[in-house]
């Protein structure tokens, strides 16, 4: 292959717990090379201290997200030839809006705490002795929930969001997206407290519909649309005649 | 910090909306002062209106019509997005809103000269 002789010029934003700096690396190109392959090559051949996260390598686990040439992406499913131009330059930095632990590994504690704050967990209404409720796949609520499930908790939307960047307390697109799926879950009984949580100062009304989240979600979810749903629901809730969004 | 994550149409639409909103907020007091002059008597209103005949003031007015159209149509787009469940193409919608605003300002310019 003629591409084999070429080298990528990779710049990585580093943090060692005390200072921020950059390192540059020359990485041989390969066919079908992903950005995760590049980072792994650097750690194995050039700098064993480079810290980053991954697990599944196939876009399931959501642990490998980073900023690639300035855009948040999942590194395991981002092909190098899709993000570099003829200059073969690649810039890699950690996700935004989360404290950096080391190099490309960020602390996602607050990100996940916000899911809890948004009541992004299932609130059961029945016990295991009750019969399972039948939810038809084409029922209205199921169809609405459908658009926003399959989130892999990668934090890409959270990193893309400028409102999170401006307001540390904002729950952010992932947690609000999860809250919206639960609002449409017939079996769930937490709507009231969830609606209160998402209409708090930190909640859905912070969103300016910039659609950074929906633009970058690797699973093609639309958190911004879910947030619009929450905004409608909170609005309907204060109107005397409205209670359900349908 | 690279800002490439902002290079998509709906982020630009947000910036246009914020800038036009803020510019309108700055302009409105001036607008009300001019209207207020009408209550104080014809002479001061006349001089204010004469002022508004100046070319650069005319140009500023065209710009303000553009701001208002951009903000109004952009605002309607956001309200459609957030308050209805119509799944229209927001990118196309924001481009059309901007295009229509430019057309409105163009018509205003054409009728002003
Ligand atoms: C003509 C009818 C108008 C409509 C339909 C409209 C609609 C809207 C909407 C939907 C937003 C929220 C945008 C967001 O969430 O980011 C907004 C924001 C805003 N509007 Fe208007 N608006 C109108 C007139 C005005 C006027 C006359 C002013 C000036 C006094 C103004 C100043 C603003 C400002 C400063 C913001 C905040 C911008 C931001 O947060 O980014 N608007 N408008
Ligand atoms: S649409 Fe709302 S939540 Fe999504 S990135 Fe924009 S501001 Fe953030
Ligand atoms: S909504 Fe999309 S971008 Fe956000 S955490 Fe889930 S999978 Fe990642
Ligand atoms: S390594 Fe699991 S999503 Fe990339």
Query: DSSP state, A235?
Result: H
Structural domain total, chain A = 2
Residue A243 lies inside a defined structural domain of this protein: no
Together in a domain, A39 and A65: yes
Residue A9: pLDDT band (50, 70, 90) is very high
Residue A182 lies inside a defined structural domain of this protein: yes
Q: List the domain range (segments joined by +) for residue A151.
A: 109-238
Cβ contact A70–B78 (<8 Å): no
Q: What is the DSSP string of A186-222?
A: TTB--HHHHHHHHTSTTSGGG-----HHHHH-TT---
C-alpha span between B109 and B106 (Å, rounded): 5
Q: Find the ligand nearest to A62 CA.
A: 4
Residue A193 lies inside a defined structural domain of this protein: yes
Is there a contact between A156 and A216 (Cβ–Cβ < 8 Å)? yes
CA of A210 to nearest chain B CA: how many angstroms apart?
5
CATH number at residue A143: 1.10.1060.10
Tens digits of residue pLDDT in B33-45: 877 777 777 777 7
Tens digits of residue pLDDT in A206-215: 999 999 999 9
CATH number at residue A36: 3.10.20.30
Tokens (6 digits) for A224:
């911004």
Together in a domain, A21 and A90: yes
Closest CA to A120 of A185, A175, A172, A171: A175
Tens digits of residue pLDDT in B8-29: 888 999 999 999 999 999 988 8
C-alpha span between B22 and B96 (Å, rounded): 22
For chain A, say whether B80 makes contact (Cβ under 8 Å).
no
Residue A199 lies inside a defined structural domain of this protein: yes
Is there a contact between A120 and A38 (Cβ–Cβ < 8 Å)? no
Q: Enumerate the residues of chain A whose CB falls inside 8 A of the CB of residue B94.
A: none
Cβ contact B82–A71 (<8 Å): no
SS3 A102: strand
Cβ contact B11–A209 (<8 Å): no
Picking from A90, A106, A122, the residue at the C-terminal end of a domain is A106
Is there a contact between A223 and A217 (Cβ–Cβ < 8 Å)? yes
> Between these two residues, A97 and B111, which has the higher pLDDT value?
A97
Picking from A62, A78, A106, the residue at the C-terminal end of a domain is A106
Whole-complex ipTM = 0.72
Q: Find the ligand nearest to A227 CA.
A: 2
Compute the CA torsion angle A233, A238, A244, A245 (nearest 10 deg): -40
Closest CA to A246 of A225, A232, A228: A232
Residue A2 lies inside a defined structural domain of this protein: no
Half-sphere exposure of B33 (CA within 13 A, CB side): 7
Residue A246 lies inside a defined structural domain of this protein: no
Half-sphere exposure of B44 (CA within 13 A, CB side): 9
* pTM of the predicted structure, to 2 decimals: 0.86
Together in a domain, A115 and A208: yes
Domains in chain B, please, with CATH? 13-112 (1.20.1300.10)
Together in a domain, A136 and A229: yes
SS3 B46: helix
């Amino acid at each position: 292959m003629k591409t084999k002789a070429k080298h990528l010029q990779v710049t990585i934003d580093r943090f060692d717990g005390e200072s921020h700096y950059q390192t540059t690396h020359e990485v041989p190109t390969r066919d079908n090379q992903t950005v995760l392959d590049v980072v792994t090559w650097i750690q194995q051949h050039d700098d064993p201290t480079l810290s980053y996260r991954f697990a599944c390598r196939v876009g399931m686990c959501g642990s490998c997200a980073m900023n690639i040439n300035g855009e948040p992406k999942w590194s395991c499913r981002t092909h190098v030839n899709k993000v570099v131009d003829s200059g073969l330059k690649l810039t890699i930095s950690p996700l935004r809006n989360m404290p950096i632990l080391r190099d490309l590994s960020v602390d996602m504690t607050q990100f996940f705490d916000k899911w809890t704050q948004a009541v992004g967990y299932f609130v059961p209404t029945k016990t295991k002795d009750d019969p399972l409720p039948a939810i038809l796949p084409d029922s209205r609520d199921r169809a609405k929930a459908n658009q926003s499930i399959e989130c892999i908790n990668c934090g890409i939307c959270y990193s893309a969001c400028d409102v999170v960047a401006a307001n540390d307390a904002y729950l952010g697109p992932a947690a609000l997206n999860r809250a919206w799926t639960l609002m449409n879950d017939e079996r769930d009984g937490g709507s009231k407290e969830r609606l209160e949580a998402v209409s708090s100062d930190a909640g859905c009304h912070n969103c300016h519909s910039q659609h950074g989240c929906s633009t970058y979600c690797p699973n093609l979810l639309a958190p911004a649309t879910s947030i619009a749903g929450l905004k409608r629901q909170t609005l309907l809730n204060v109107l005397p005649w409205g209670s359900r969004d349908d | 910090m690279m800002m490439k994550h902002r290079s998509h149409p709906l982020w630009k639409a947000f910036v246009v909306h914020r800038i036009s909103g803020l510019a309108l907020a700055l302009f409105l007091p001036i607008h009300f002062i001019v209207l207020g002059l009408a209550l104080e008597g014809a002479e001061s209103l006349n001089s204010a209106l004469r002022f508004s005949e100046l070319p650069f003031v005319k140009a500023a007015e065209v710009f303000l019509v553009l701001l208002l159209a951009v903000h109004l149509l952009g605002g309607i787009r956001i309200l459609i997005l957030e308050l209805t469940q119509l799944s229209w193409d927001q990118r196309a919608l924001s481009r059309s809103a901007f295009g229509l605003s430019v057309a409105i300002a163009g018509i205003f310019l054409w009728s002003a000269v």
